[in-house]
Amino acid sequence: MAPPGSGKTMLAKRIPSIMPDLSFEESMEISKIYSIAGLMDQQALISIRPFRSPHHTITTTALIGGGGIPKPGEISLAHLGVLFLDELPEFQKNTIEVLRQPLEDKSVTIARLNASYKYPAGFMLVSAMNPCSCGYYPDRNRCNCSVNHIKRYLGRISQPLLDRFDICIEALQMNYKDLQVQEKQESSEEIRHRVAQARRIQLERYQDQNIYFNSQLSPRTIKKYCKLDEKEQSLLEEAFNKMNLSARAYHRIIKVARTIADLDQSERITTKHISEAICYRSIDQKYWGE
């Protein structure tokens, strides 16, 4: 999630190009869901990771699944891919709150009188939002929103839902001089190559474990695959106490640090990786901790 949302259009366009390739097993799993939903369009198999971006007027049923004849919703159509929610606070609060359980269980169960339907929902949730309705807070030279108005706007995102985001980044406003800088930026292809390398490391680490990504690690498997030395434990303990983190946030920081280490092709999780992962949790303290 990235308040303010100055980079969200680029984010929506670039994610599909840098996501790792599907394995045959993943392709089969996604294709089954799309077949049930009647969205195969005469394809034999889905060959690229799903990227779903529903409008903020979407209903709860369309997002989660269901209906008179139950069908998979957007969260299942995004299985093993990305569900992108632009302008997150503009969604109905009751609608996005129902994401909490599927994000934990990686599946959704739809109960009917005579049957129960269970669909996979192991998606990556990506969202973008502004910190207030005008989009300029905390720049008080441009933002005229009252404190209560800002709190109500941010309050549309509950703390339990916010806690389920592994990474929160603020996209700062750029000035004219920033736009004139001609520094060479890392291309999507270079990013894709690094992502693919990290993906191979994870597949090799978790072979025969039915785990595809670090995000799927449980508290028990975290202890096995994300061992921390005393220095890293001390840093994490300090952050846990100072930032008043939940147990969920604690485990998410470790999993993010494991991924950062994989991108560095480092077998060990170092203080550098822990520090970077902790930084990705600081924005909720800045905006929701006031």
Question: 200, 221, 190, 214: which is closest to 265 by C-alpha?
Answer: 200
Reduced to 3 states, what is the DSSP secondary structure of residue 69?
Answer: coil
Regarding whether 206 and 279 lie in a shared domain, the answer is yes
Regarding whether 216 and 158 lie in a shared domain, the answer is no
pLDDT tens string 147-185: 999 999 999 999 889 988 999 888 877 778 877 777 778
Instruction: Give this prediction's pTM.
Output: 0.84
What is the band of 17 on the pLDDT scale with cuts at 50, 70, 90?
A: low
Regarding whether 55 and 135 lie in a shared domain, the answer is yes
| Residues spanned by the domain of 282 | 194-288
Does residue 182 form part of some domain? no
Regarding whether 60 and 143 lie in a shared domain, the answer is yes
Q: How far apart are CA 126 and CA 166, in angstroms?
A: 10
Q: What is the CATH number of the domain that holds 36?
A: 3.40.50.300
Q: How far apart are CA 118 and CA 36, in angstroms?
A: 12
Does residue 108 form part of some domain? yes
Regarding whether 113 and 21 lie in a shared domain, the answer is yes
Q: 162, 246 in Cβ contact below 8 A?
A: no
pLDDT of res. 103: 93
Give the end of a domain, one of 165, 184, 207. 165
Regarding whether 91 and 21 lie in a shared domain, the answer is yes
Regarding whether 150 and 13 lie in a shared domain, the answer is yes
Look up residue 129 and give its DSSP letter: -
